[in-house]
Amino acid sequence: MTAQSFRRWQVGDVRITRIVETAPVSAPVSLMFPEDDDSLIAPHLDWLNPHFVDADGQMLVAWQCFVVETPDRRIMVDTCIGNDRKRYFDIFNDMHNPFLEDLRSAGYPPESIDTVLCTHLHYDHVGWNTRLVDGKWVPTFPNARYLFGKVEWDYMIGLAESGDWHHAGHVPDCLLPIMGAGLADLIDTNFEVCQQIRLLPTPGHTPGHVSIHIESQGEVAVITGDIMHHPLQMAIPDKPCAFDHDKAQACCTRQTFLTRYQDSDALVIGSHFPEPTAGRVLSHESAWRFEGQVSDIQITTRGEPSVTKAANANEQLVLDFFTTLSTGDLKQLGTFIDADTTWTPMIENVPGAGTHTGKAICEEFLAPVRGLFVDGDPKVHVDSIVSSNDKVMCETRGVGMLRNGRSYNNLYAWAFQIQDGRIKAIREYMDSHYVMTTIVDGQP
């Protein structure tokens, strides 16, 4: 299923974006706790409702990944299940989800990811490490280094070599092609990825399992991985889960983790938690509960369908232009612009009004406008595109967060003139009243 919305959280100068691969599914308590029934969850329905259980009181579990963006890094944390696979559970067989399209719509084309970081190496956390191209599994993120825990790698390869294909059937299509391409680095469980991101050893679910600790400008977040699959486990952390390799160690790890982050401002992001995925761990009775942060989450919604295919080279040029514009890389955007290219926003008395030419488009027009937004915004989503000869017309939405604290979601129409494969003229139309009230009136 396609992601209907992307969730974003800002932690200091780090932005975290959730990309959903598979919408939440209902699961009985017995899936994780085979010897129990609904009576196990009943005492906790007061805080699990309405987000973490369905109308029948069944657990809701989601499959998703996270892009963690620092000022100079783009890190993919886990890569979900993947398309075209054969897996143990029928629900995950031969999937054809628009995951990569969703990733691009969120502003993160696969080529822009520089690091893939896996909390562990189960099939539902490494699937999009690769994709099927002409019958061959190739790296999905060709410019990234894939960071695999050494303990975890040895464990998973050992399962494969022993013939345990129930647990290691994904090794040939998700892991070995990455190692074969020379893109994998084996790391320790306490590895520091960069100044803001380090690994937190959380063994038990698997021997080398890690959580992702994020800290920037005094703010803290943590991506759990599979130390918990559902918030219910906060209330019963010492209850062994069927999914865990070392059940006793997993119970100990959960309690240590929850004690560490309890009653603090740390944003805890559950890898399998449905919406709201992030929140706080609160001490509750003799254990803990989860308080999802619904109102504090920034939302970016994309239209259905999002345009990802072009009918001709001119349309593809414009789509590539918007993909680059969304990254905020104005130097790269400059490669689309010639000395005589003009860009004319068809508005008056707002930032960027007037005609801009050549280098001034990026340096004098776009740089100040993007400076009104938080780093990485706004993103541009193309909703429709048509062309006739050298003209390309399209409709887009600009979505993001302004530095003044306001959200931005505006509709645009564009007319491009293309000559010999180059953009020569851009006319930009928008809701200028929205711009005035959201940006201009909102300036401090």
- Provide mean pLDDT across the span 40-67: 93
From CA 149, how far away is CA 337, in angstroms rounded? 43
Q: Compute the distance between CA of residue 89 and CA of residue 31 in angstroms, rounded to an integer.
A: 13
- Predicted confidence (pLDDT) per residue in 139-169, tens digit: 999 999 999 999 999 999 999 999 887 788 8
pLDDT for the residue 349: 65
Q: Rounded to two decimals, what is the model's pTM? A: 0.69
- Cβ–Cβ under 8 Å, residues 228 and 234: yes
pLDDT of residue 301: 41
How far is it, in rounded angstroms, from Cα 326 to Cα 397? 11
| Over residues 199-221, mean pLDDT | 97
Average pLDDT over residues 30-41: 92
Contact 130, 174 (CB under 8 A): yes
Average pLDDT for the chain? 88
CB atoms within 10 A of CB 159: 18
Give the type of residue at 196: Q
Nearest to 310 by CA among 302, 300, 322: 322
Q: Which of 3, 8, 76 is nearest to 378 (CA)?
A: 8
pLDDT bracket for residue 439 (50, 70, 90): low
Residue 378's alpha-carbon distances to 99, 326, 327, 371, 374, in angstroms, are: 21, 7, 9, 10, 8
Averaged over 56-73, what is the pLDDT? 92
Q: Dump pLDDT digits (tens) for 215-273.
A: 999 999 999 999 999 999 999 999 999 999 999 999 999 999 999 999 999 999 999 99
CA R_g for the chain = 23
Checking if the pLDDT of 442 tops 60, the result is no
Q: What is the mean pLDDT of residues 38-51?
A: 93
DSSP-derived 3-state class of residue 228: coil
| Residue 182, pLDDT score | 97
Question: What pLDDT was estimated at residue 403?
Answer: 83
C-beta of residue 157 within 8 angstroms of C-beta of residue 127 = no
Q: How confident is the model at residue 296 (pLDDT cuts 50, 70, 90)?
A: very low
pLDDT at 443 over 70: no
pLDDT at 408 over 90: no
pLDDT digits (tens, 9 = 90+) for 164-201: 877 888 999 999 999 999 999 999 999 999 999 999 99
Quick one: pLDDT at residue 430?
75
Structure-block tokens of residue 41: 């969850």
Q: Among residues 257, 260, 261, 292, which one has the least CA distance to residue 278?
A: 292
Residue 297 has pLDDT above 60, yes or no: no
Grouping H, G, I as helix, E, B as strand and the rest as coil, residue 320 is helix
Q: Is 60 exceeded by the pLDDT of residue 118?
A: yes
